[in-house]
């Protein structure tokens, strides 16, 4: 499984994309990053390094609210960087939480942000403090390796111990898979942590093979893996390149159903791009799962499209070659065949909020965060509350794939203290006062920092939901569990196409409206109206809410109702 890859896999295709050429010249992700980040004449890095730094876990951004103003003054954009931690399973200790909070204040914009992949992001870090930031992360035993880039990204896993008695057995697999699929280049350690360069040449003066899995050119595009524990699909497992569905019998973990080829991103104006749900192809034991993941990644490395990055995700590789071919190729590389798919059922993609207890007598508190943003505001000082809880060392912190936070392993005698601290800082831990629509909402960052965003998301969705709640109240639906998600572009970070109501930005103030995904995450939604402004969105959904309240079937979800009465009529 770890034999050096053949040299021909390191030969770039003559018509490889510009990013492939950058990787080819990067000397295994080193490039001239060290020099570029010391250049005092600009707060930005070169175009090539904008791509290269992603492998180190960060993106170059600028404040788009200030672009025009700075252009008028003939200033360069207000550049900064977003750094994304690699946190398999989304778990941080109390000590680590405190250190990350300190980084956000010392180097960032005084906020933390939980992503839809269970990771933690810092925003607003300037170029000249990147190295200090990474060294501060290292002091907390954390890193941003593979936070971004054409490699396997943060491995997700259902974080709430109260959802399954097998959770403690399943949860560590996120860390094991993440470590198994990490790049082996020491570029990150040399550039940011000042570790000495290792041996770089072998006999004959050839560059040493430093990437036994990824090779010189890594993957054609990003790769995502998630583990979920039925009946909960809180990881949106079908949205991943590899989805691992834990299977238990008689209280013991048997292994994982393996789903492949999920991916939600698409490009407006290109009909050859599309969202795809992962296909469940077989079952593997725990002892086999590392090999299964390794060789699936290897197949994508070898056969993925390296000419057109719009078509380079694993889903397109599968559809080009076919599932039958893929399973044969995988079985050949593994040396065994996957077993038959085991039965399972999903009931929801949502998080459990509020208090819950596990059989060992410990308590866990699911907190609703507004789109993962940990910040102190005039209304509530959640950031300070979490610092106070961490300082008292009352729990560990686990981030969810729905941008929420679970405080885990709280002793019974500490429950009241945790609640008191949250309320002291103005945060109400009881999410039942929120509408069902708000509890189940997700939004990507979008404007003002994401360079891909065409419209608002995080800054606008709360306001839109407030207006939609007037309709919900009118029809007695305030507590109805309806899932709404908004993204500023069609890249899929907020998983809008897996929402019962999905809104994807097309231009400032206008969105494509998608409807009808399933509540449990096994059906994509459908484009219903294009280029809608707020008035049109409110009017359309008001009518649908009215019909849903009047004619829905017993226990029928909003997505199923729309699918039955609108999309198939």
From the candidates 444, 485, 495, 506, which is the catalytic residue? 444
- Please identify which of the residues 54, 86, 117, 153 carries the catalytic annotation: 153
- Options 23, 54, 84, 383, the catalytic residue: 84
Q: Which residues pair with 487 in a beta bridge?
A: 504
Catalytic-residue membership of 474: no
Q: How many angstroms separate the Cα of 321 from the Cα of each of 16, 239, 299?
A: 20, 20, 11
Let me know if 493 is a catalytic residue.
yes
Q: Which of 86, 113, 216, 224 is catalytic?
A: 224
Phi then psi dihedrals of residue 35, to 5 deg: -70, -40
Q: How far apart are CA 306 and CA 310, in angstroms?
A: 10
The helix/strand/coil state of 304 is coil
Single out the catalytic residue among 86, 186, 222, 485: 222
Burial class (CB in 10 A: 0-12, 13-18, 19+), 12: middle
Options 148, 293, 395, 493, the catalytic residue: 493
157 part of the active site: no
Token pair in block for residue 347: 């009931």
Task: Assess whether 284 carries a catalytic annotation.
Answer: no
Asked if residue 514 lies in contact with residue 529, where contact means CB atoms within 8 angstroms, the answer is: no
Helix (H) or strand (E) run with residue 253 in it: strand 252-260
The size of the chain, in residues, is 569
Closest to 261 (Cα-Cα) out of 246, 278, 244? 278
Tokens matching residue 449: 């920092």
Cβ-based burial of 10 (10 A; exposed 0-12, middle 13-18, buried ≥19): middle
Q: Closest Cα to residue 487, out of 442, 540, 532, 521?
A: 442
**CA 392: distance to chain centroid?**
29
543-556: b or e for each residue (b if 16 or more CB lie within 10 Å)? ebbeebeeebeeee
Assigned token pair, 229:
């524990």
Identify the active-site residue in 398, 450, 483, 495. 450
Q: Is 153 a catalytic residue?
A: yes
Examine the residue annotation and report whether 444 is marked as an active-site residue of this protein.
yes
Active-site amino acid positions? 84, 153, 222, 224, 444, 450, 489, 493
């Amino acid at each position: 499984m770890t034999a050096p890859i053949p040299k021909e896999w390191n030969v770039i295709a003559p018509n490889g994309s510009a990013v492939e050429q950058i990787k080819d010249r990067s000397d295994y992700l080193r490039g001239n990053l060290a020099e570029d980040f010391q250049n005092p004449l600009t707060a930005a890095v070169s175009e090539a390094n904008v791509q290269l730094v992603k492998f180190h876990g960060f993106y170059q951004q600028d404040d788009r609210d200030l672009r025009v103003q700075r252009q008028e003054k003939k200033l360069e954009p207000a550049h900064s960087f977003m750094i994304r931690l690699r946190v398999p399973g989304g778990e941080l200790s109390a000590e680590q939480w405190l250190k990350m909070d300190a980084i956000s204040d010392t180097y960032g914009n005084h906020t933390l942000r939980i992503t839809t992949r269970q990771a933690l992001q810092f925003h607003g870090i300037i170029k000249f403090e990147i190295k200090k930031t990474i060294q501060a992360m290292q002091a907390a035993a954390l890193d941003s390796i593979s936070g971004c880039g054409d490699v396997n990204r943060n491995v997700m896993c259902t974080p709430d111990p109260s959802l399954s008695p097998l959770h403690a057995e399943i949860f560590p697999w996120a860390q094991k898979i993440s470590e198994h699929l990490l790049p082996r280049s020491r570029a990150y350690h040399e550039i940011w942590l000042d570790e000495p360069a290792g041996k770089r040449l072998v006999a004959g003066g050839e560059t040493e093979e430093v990437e036994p899995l990824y090779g010189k050119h890594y993957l054609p595009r990003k790769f995502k893996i998630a583990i979920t524990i039925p009946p909960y699909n809180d990881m949106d497992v079908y949205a991943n390149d590899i989805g691992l569905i834990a299977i238990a019998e008689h209280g013991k973990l048997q292994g994982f159903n393996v789903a492949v080829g999920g991916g939600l991103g698409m490009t407006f104006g290109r009909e050859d791009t599309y969202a795809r749900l992962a296909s469940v192809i077989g079952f593997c034991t725990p002892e086999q799962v590392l090999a299964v993941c390794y060789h699936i990644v290897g197949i994508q490395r070898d056969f993925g499209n390296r000419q057109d990055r719009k078509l380079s995700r694993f889903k397109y590789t599968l559809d080009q070659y076919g599932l039958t071919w893929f399973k044969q190729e995988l079985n050949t590389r593994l040396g065994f065949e996957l077993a038959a798919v085991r039965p399972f059922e999903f009931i929801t993609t949502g998080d459990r909020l509020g208090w819950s207890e596990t059989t060992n007598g410990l308590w866990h508190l699911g907190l609703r965060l507004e789109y993962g943003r940990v910040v102190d505001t005039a209304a509530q000082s959640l950031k300070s509350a979490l610092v106070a809880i961490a300082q008292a060392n009352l729990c560990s912190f686990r981030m969810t794939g729905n941008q929420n936070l679970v405080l885990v392993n709280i002793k019974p005698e500490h429950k009241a203290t945790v609640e008191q601290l949250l309320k002291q800082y103005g945060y109400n831990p009881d999410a039942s006062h929120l509408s069902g629509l708000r509890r189940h909402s997700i939004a990507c960052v979008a404007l003002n920092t994401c360079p891909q965003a065409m419209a608002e998301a995080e800054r606008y969705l709360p306001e839109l939901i407030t207006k939609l709640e007037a309709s919900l109240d009118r029809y007695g639906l305030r507590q109805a569990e309806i899932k709404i998600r908004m993204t500023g572009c069609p890249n899929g970070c907020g998983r809008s196409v897996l929402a019962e109501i999905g809104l994807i930005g097309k231009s400032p103030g206008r969105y494509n409206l998608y409807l009808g995904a399933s509540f449990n995450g096994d059906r994509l939604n459908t484009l219903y109206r294009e280029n809608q402004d707020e008035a049109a969105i409110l009017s359309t959904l008001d009518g649908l809410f009215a019909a849903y309240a009047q004619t829905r079937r017993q226990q029928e979800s909003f997505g199923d109702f729309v699918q039955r009465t609108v999309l198939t009529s």
